[in-house]
Amino acid sequence: MKFDFTGLTVFAESDIAKKAADLFCDEIEMRTGVRPALGDSDICVRFVTGDTERDAYSLRLDGTVLTVTASGIRGFIYGYSMFLRKTVYNGKNITLIKDITGEYAPDKSIRGHQLGYRTTSNTYEAWGIPEYRRCYLDLMMFGSNIVEHIPGRAEKGRNDLMKYDADEFCILASELADEFDLDVSLWYPNDELPIEESVEKRREFFKKCPRLNVVFPPGGDPGDFPGDVFVERVKAISNALREEKPNAQMWPSAQAPHSQPTWGEDFISKMSELPDEIDGVITGPNRAFPLSVLRRKLPSKYPIRLYPDITHNVRCEYPVHFLSDDWHYSLTTTLSRESINPRPREYNLIHRITRRYIVGSVSYSEGVNDDVNKAVWSNLDYFPEVSLKETLLDYARAFIWDAPAEKIVDAVFGLERNWEGDPAENPCIEATYNTLIDLYNSIPSLADNWRFVQLLFRALSDLIVKTRRVFETELLEDAVYTLKSKNDIDGALKIIDTPFSAEYLEMREFMEVLGKKLFDMIGMQLDVKRYYADNWERGATLDTIDLPVTDRAYYINRLNFAKTLSDDEREEFISGLLNRNKVNADEFYYSFAEHGLDVLEERQQPDFYMDFQGDRPAVNDGSIPMCQLKLYDHYSFRCKLSGMTPGQDYKLRVSYSSRKSAEATDHTVTVSGKVIYCGNQYGGEKDEKFDKYYLAPNTETATYDLPAELFTNGCADIVINEPHVGLMMSEFWVLKA
């Protein structure tokens, strides 16, 4: 059943209710162009103060009179936001799509996001107080009750976008949060000052914050104190905090410095003394323990708050397709670490995995690139059983009200599916773009809605990657045929260098138009030079979108090199180039970039790191083949081999990073339980010519003998490990000796 609320009036019975009513009228005027009158009529939203919990509210619908009951401004904002989430707008017409009568209370007590005003953000430092005010209300639309800010650190400085110093802005943001009864957390790392100076420095800052509820010092990332020393410093800071803000809490994180291998156990040992100065523990990126292990080790006195990274795509806690880490290298290259990244299904899964251990979460965010993810995560913290589709419908109705909500939801789900597999083989990419561009062309007001333009920008980015990958792959196939059939390097180079079509160049120019819109509307920093992105990794999609997505640039590089060789050398070189990764049926080749982890038939140990190389402009410059774009970084690697010829000797050739450490004295290669090498990195036999001709810079091969007796019925297990500093590898071959 639907309810017509066109021409509604607003009634409020107390001062706090009047404040809420005024905010609600702002929202209705934004959507319809008409500000509701004050009064108690037959079509009315009534704000009534009642005895509810601070984060709870109740709604009662009687015909076309909706009563919102809450105890304070926070609950009222949640209450009227539910009305906004369930209404559709057509000009001045307002339609409530369902009866929303009910008692509402959150599942989690902590629900929020980090909004750090600093140079590394891809958006936030372009804002002033009006933009943060709007952001606070938008976050509360989906139930947030806390915002987290970051005091300035001298070494980070200030860029041309920032209207304030970071410390000054933290204080203003704290004051602003007080208007909406939003809790305020500070992400405040330890420093290298003596403890007395460090405490007094913080005490002075705490005094200046009008509202301060939580202080969050990370154990690492950044920070290098041993776990026990860290806890002692936290306790001292906590005492100063409570002297200035008696009701504030101290929540350090169990994030471990890389330089402290015993940090986690040292931290737990101190926490087992049950210090009263600490109220809870946070866990996030670079964690000392998996969440389930932390909960088992940490005394139950201390609740756990999650610090989920919902803003990054790669080189992070939850990379795209975090269970398999198989995001295609062409997308990883061009969209990089902080692109616009709606991942509703994946974050829904992560929330389901983690929520039974925690009392809530404050996400790690660096800008509005993760806007959809914020709404999804907050709503899961408040309403964990609500369907993902309903959450996204609410998002569309709340923020992109000029468009049909179903189409927006289809597009959001489509953007996540765009990142499945090789974009050249993904028909969803065109469908998602067509949905959004049709809306853009038919509803002019959407061009002024930054959230819609964001979705369109991402859909266009995906389409550009797909179009270029298809085009370049066809060129490479033709060029390889020319090399094989005619041995014609110049002819192959001419084919590879075919220019892009006019249609492609128009798409690329439209991307620039949308990028400027996003900077002008919301301060998104999509490149370094024009829009002040901190660096290419910080959401600067316009700086990475044109990086190589096939071996086109690599072939141009290598074929020009071939022209410098003698005839005999050139023939050998070209043959090796064309057959670089080809093996016989009873041999094996594996690339982390080209192949999924599943083909290894052995699950890698937890917390490996995929150090992706492709989105680094100085690296992916034509000197690196696509098969080397992913650099696996961990203490161990393992796989199962099969299909080898019994009785045949083999060789194992591995391409490693050339970065070595003097501490790596136990680099070990084990095959079928037998150690075939143990010593300094990396051992084995060098292939100088192969490395010079066919490897990326700063990588090298090592080759190990695999005698036939290591194989059983053509099968063998391979384990490579280094227990001190780990190993980094990009590919390997098992070749007949």
Fold match between domain 3-104 and domain 582-736: no
Over the range 140-164, which residues count as b (16 or more CB within 10 Å of their CB) and which as e?
A: bbbbbbbbbbbbbeeeeeebebbeb
* Integer-rounded Cα radius of gyration of the chain: 29
Cis amide leading into 222 (omega within 30): yes
Among 310, 323, 309, 315, which residue's Cα sits nearest to residue 614? 315
Tell me the torsion sign for CA atoms 255, 259, 264, 270: negative
Find the helix or strand (DSSP H, E) in which 610 lies. strand 609-612
* Model pTM score: 0.97
CA angle 554, 559, 561 (to 5 degrees): 100
Task: Locate the domains of the chain by residue range.
Answer: 3-104, 110-399, 582-736
Quote the tokens at residue 732.
């390997």
The CATH architecture that domain 3-104 belongs to is: 2-Layer Sandwich (3.30)
Quick one: pLDDT at residue 607? Answer: 83
Orientation angle between helical segments 263-271 and 227-244, nearest 10 degrees: 50
Quick one: pLDDT at residue 193? Answer: 93
Q: Which CATH number fits domain 582-736: 1.10.150.20, 3.40.50.11720, 3.30.2350.10, 2.60.120.260?
A: 2.60.120.260
Quick one: pLDDT at residue 688? Answer: 94
Tell me the torsion sign for CA atoms 224, 227, 229, 231: positive
Other beta carbons within 10 Å of 308: 23
Over the range 688-718, which residues count as b (16 or more CB within 10 Å of their CB) and which as e?
A: eebbebbbbeebbbbbbebeeebbeeeebbb
Average pLDDT of adjacent 10-residue blocks, the chain of 737 residues: 97 96 98 96 97 97 98 98 98 98 98 96 97 98 98 75 94 97 96 94 96 97 94 98 98 93 96 98 96 98 98 96 94 98 98 98 98 98 97 98 98 98 98 98 98 98 98 98 95 97 98 98 98 96 98 98 95 96 97 94 90 96 98 96 97 96 93 97 94 97 98 98 94 97
Quick one: pLDDT at residue 152? Answer: 75
How many angstroms separate the CA atoms of 157 and 137, rounded? 29
Residue given tokens 């026990």 in the structure block: 228
Other beta carbons within 10 Å of 367: 26
Among 17, 69, 62, 56, which residue's Cα sits nearest to residue 44? 62
Q: Give the N- to C-terminal CA distance of the chain in Å, as an integer.
A: 75
How many angstroms separate the CA atoms of 276 and 707, rounded? 61
Non-local CB neighbours of 613 within 8 Å, separated by 6+ positions: 619, 620, 624, 628, 629, 630, 631, 696
How many angstroms separate the CA atoms of 270 and 314, rounded? 33
Quick one: pLDDT at residue 532? Answer: 96
Tell me the torsion sign for CA atoms 34, 35, 36, 37: negative
Quick one: pLDDT at residue 265? Answer: 97
Q: Which fold has domain 110-399?
A: TIM Barrel (3.20.20)
Report yes or no: 346 and 320 within 8 Å, Cβ to Cβ: yes
